[in-house]
Structure 1
């Protein structure tokens, strides 16, 4: 429908040809219509505006005479390509708005926005973490579950519980108990639109401007962005090959700690049971909450899982966060929180304010897969495929680099971190550029260090790459490692010259 300008009081009533012309001209220049965009037919627009067809025709004729549209007999008017290109050039040349009136939240985002880019196309191999292979998605099982959800006749068409479908929360309760030893009441589960919304709710409810929060260093940047957007201040605590160095918490005062204890992101350490108890003791002593992000615990390769923080004594301070983004797809935006019982109503209220509730059809479909066992079967299948991909990556890296590299985080998950022992950090940008020229997407681990963001030195001072493998087939992985070796050799040769 064409949205025409408000008619001035002195000309209330039917719109004239001049007003129609001016409105359409302005909309074309404001790029409401794209290149070769079609305008309504004169008959359709006259009926919509309640004016004669002749009035609309006069407006169209004026637009055509000035080159804004092209008119052909028997066809709808079409926006002239040259006009749209001119409008785009005019928009690009406009001066940027300097005096934006933003909240403090908006100002913080403006000065420290999270980075995001579309996945690069046309690469031989893209080792970007977080992407999954389309061939792994359980298309038939998901389609069957969606059809089942659509066929379930709803009792009503209305807003539902902001905490999520009771059926899905009940299914999740059983899944968490049998797969992760997480025991909770159904009312403690809050369904969210992916883990990022879960982090955002935690940030809004548990942090104020000026509060301090503990972050693993290196760590997950999108969690830091969610917490920092409140005005809270990050306290980076180093990690080693076993995860967070919890002994460093002894003198730390903070309201919240964010951790990935089952598979530290990005270095891959599994937090030992002693450190887990040490972290929980600190949280009780400090009256602080711990956000336990269990983002990829389904992927373990020959190692036994350590009990989640939530299942240990003192879980009244733990918020457990899970997602299906690493098992099904990040496009589904389905995740869940297990919150302390006394916070359930607050998390539900925050969820209601944000978006009322997560889409119901997808919730019902996931519940169907969990109840039928299809989800568990799918997880077992993709775990096997992921293990094959990881082994192919490890073999290819070791063949081509030998003891020139150190690999961390290979016990679990969908990525590893590769350190190049003989390539100093100053050559990081050169390596990424050389790899890209060969059709490779590779990503530095240094960007995940809070200490580097603050201009402080950190170790190790060599190039490290976070290499995701879940979206690649074995042949892509092997070819990618061959090209990576060529890129490393080129950078090393250039360094010696």
Structure 2
């Protein structure tokens, strides 16, 4: 039994001793030191030899027998099982032959081929104009904690899954909130609670598009949505936007497009608001071509100087609009809660797809959010953060006017949590180098070009542009960040040689 002796160990717990015995026996079986069919010491003998309790050895033997490494029976000595049961464990990564690729489905191959920019830097900049980030200090921590504790202590007869469409309390609360805040009338049965707007977009893509279909998309537009729709094998029909949003006069006249994705209340990223004439034209197009309209209302609560624009879905009389809402901008993107308001005929299949995907969104958070909406705390929070964002927006516009060249142009400032800054004295290909130079100085800014499906051309030129999110910054940080950006621009460090700022036509 010398082969079973183990070196001294500082561990004295029975569980650790049992683990050492288990690991030792398993490795010796794998190496062939204990051959298939060989007897292993009795539990009594091994316990005495190792100076541990027989119970500890018995537990290790039982584990090895359960996993198929040993064969045991009452009244018989335990033996090593067949070699097939003794496959060795290894921490090494499996080796793949050179030139081979993993076997994927057609969908998997399309996803693998998608060109996406990397995620935001793990280490944030000292001053980061990252769009989609909100200030942690704005989160209603006290109200959330009170509601969360109350819900956590509420007695439940049992803990089990809920319906895939989401908790009934949140759907009822959303029904009232959407009527008050977005002019949207719906039944609670039409609401499906999801993991943020991205899951809502994914469900729309997989349930409404086939390979070879086409979909209308804003140019420029939300890249994650475009890639999600493209992953189905559908083709993007990029329709340009102007100061009023999607140019509906350029919608396709044939039957190719099965779906149109739009951001009518605050076009992403350029900020236009789709006027009533174009809204009606879009709805007529959807009715005529039996197409769906996916309305992404990603930051509809935040409009400055006037009340928020009513949702497109509020004037849809044909049941062609799918409305997407989210709590990422008003509360936190880390919460991962959003919702769909579906035409009645789509409710069953979307519920089924949600159930197959992940059962349902987290229930406790849904009930906490329903409590905040019902008490009025959520809407008070939205009004408070809207005022805070308005101060940050004003600070950004003032800092741009004071520090940047006079022909720098800002658009999309009437609503939302970001603006687009056009720099007519730079070219689109200069954006990455400009952003990299700013990052070296501790300021994060983000190029707008990745949001365009088509590169600029001589017929349709455009200057360099940056997306500047301001919701997570203080007024002081905003001013300091624009000072730094001004020095980077003045230094002229784009990739294609030195660029000297100069005047150019505004867009």
Tell me the TM-score normalized by structure 2. Answer: 0.80
Of 160, 168, 171 in structure 2, the residue corresponding to residue 169 of structure 1 is 171
TM-superposition CA deviations, 1:16-61 (whole Å, max 9, x none): 835246779xxxxxxxxxxxxxxxxx98985652379xxxxxxxxx
- Residues 48 and 368 (structure 1), Cα distance of their counterparts in 2 relative to 1, 3 Å cut: farther
- Residues 432 and 282 (structure 1), Cα distance of their counterparts in 2 relative to 1, 3 Å cut: same
Which position in structure 2 is the counterpart of 1:429? 432
TM-superposition CA deviations, 1:146-196 (whole Å, max 9, x none): 112112212332211100111110000000000001000110000001111
**TM superposition shift of 1:127:** 0.8
- Residues 206 and 390 (structure 1), Cα distance of their counterparts in 2 relative to 1, 3 Å cut: same
**TM superposition shift of 1:98:** 2.9
- Residues 415 and 152 (structure 1), Cα distance of their counterparts in 2 relative to 1, 3 Å cut: same
**TM superposition shift of 1:403:** 2.5
Which position in structure 2 is the counterpart of 1:223? 225
Whether contact under 8 Å (1:124, 1:480) holds in the other structure is: no
Whether contact under 8 Å (1:303, 1:411) holds in the other structure is: no
Whether contact under 8 Å (1:284, 1:314) holds in the other structure is: no
Of 361, 365, 372 in structure 2, the residue corresponding to residue 362 of structure 1 is 365
Which position in structure 1 is the counterpart of 2:26? 19
- Residues 214 and 165 (structure 1), Cα distance of their counterparts in 2 relative to 1, 3 Å cut: same
Alpha-carbon distance in structure 2 between the residues aligned to 1:294 and 1:451: 24
**TM superposition shift of 1:400:** 1.1
TM-superposition CA deviations, 1:367-394 (whole Å, max 9, x none): 0100111100110111111111111111
**TM superposition shift of 1:95:** 7.2
Of 232, 235, 238 in structure 2, the residue corresponding to residue 233 of structure 1 is 235
Alpha-carbon distance in structure 2 between the residues aligned to 1:446 and 1:457: 16
Alpha-carbon distance in structure 2 between the residues aligned to 1:488 and 1:270: 30
Which position in structure 1 is the counterpart of 2:379? 376
Whether contact under 8 Å (2:301, 2:308) holds in the other structure is: no
Which position in structure 2 is the counterpart of 1:398? 401
Which position in structure 1 is the counterpart of 2:157? 155
- Residues 450 and 15 (structure 1), Cα distance of their counterparts in 2 relative to 1, 3 Å cut: same
Which position in structure 2 is the counterpart of 1:139? 141
Of 347, 351, 360 in structure 2, the residue corresponding to residue 348 of structure 1 is 351
Whether contact under 8 Å (2:302, 2:308) holds in the other structure is: no
Whether contact under 8 Å (1:168, 1:364) holds in the other structure is: yes
Number of aligned positions between the proteins: 434
Which position in structure 1 is the counterpart of 2:192? 190
TM-superposition CA deviations, 1:456-484 (whole Å, max 9, x none): 66744211000001111111111100000
**Other structure's SS at 2:212 match:** coil
Larger helix percent: 1
1:119-138 pair list within 5 angstroms: 119-121=121-123, 123-138=125-140
Structure 1: state its 5+ residue gaps.
6-13, 25-41, 53-86
TM-superposition CA deviations, 1:50-87 (whole Å, max 9, x none): 379xxxxxxxxxxxxxxxxxxxxxxxxxxxxxxxxxx9
- Residues 484 and 120 (structure 1), Cα distance of their counterparts in 2 relative to 1, 3 Å cut: farther
Moved more, 394-403 or 358-367: 394-403
Of 336, 356, 369 in structure 2, the residue corresponding to residue 333 of structure 1 is 336
**TM superposition shift of 1:117:** 2.0
**Other structure's SS at 2:467 match:** strand
Alpha-carbon distance in structure 2 between the residues aligned to 1:400 and 1:331: 34
Of 430, 436, 441 in structure 2, the residue corresponding to residue 438 of structure 1 is 441
**Other structure's SS at 1:344 match:** helix
Whether contact under 8 Å (1:451, 1:457) holds in the other structure is: no
- Residues 421 and 156 (structure 1), Cα distance of their counterparts in 2 relative to 1, 3 Å cut: same
Aligned Cα RMSD in Å? 2.9
Alpha-carbon distance in structure 2 between the residues aligned to 1:243 and 1:165: 35
1:478 has 2:489 as partner: no
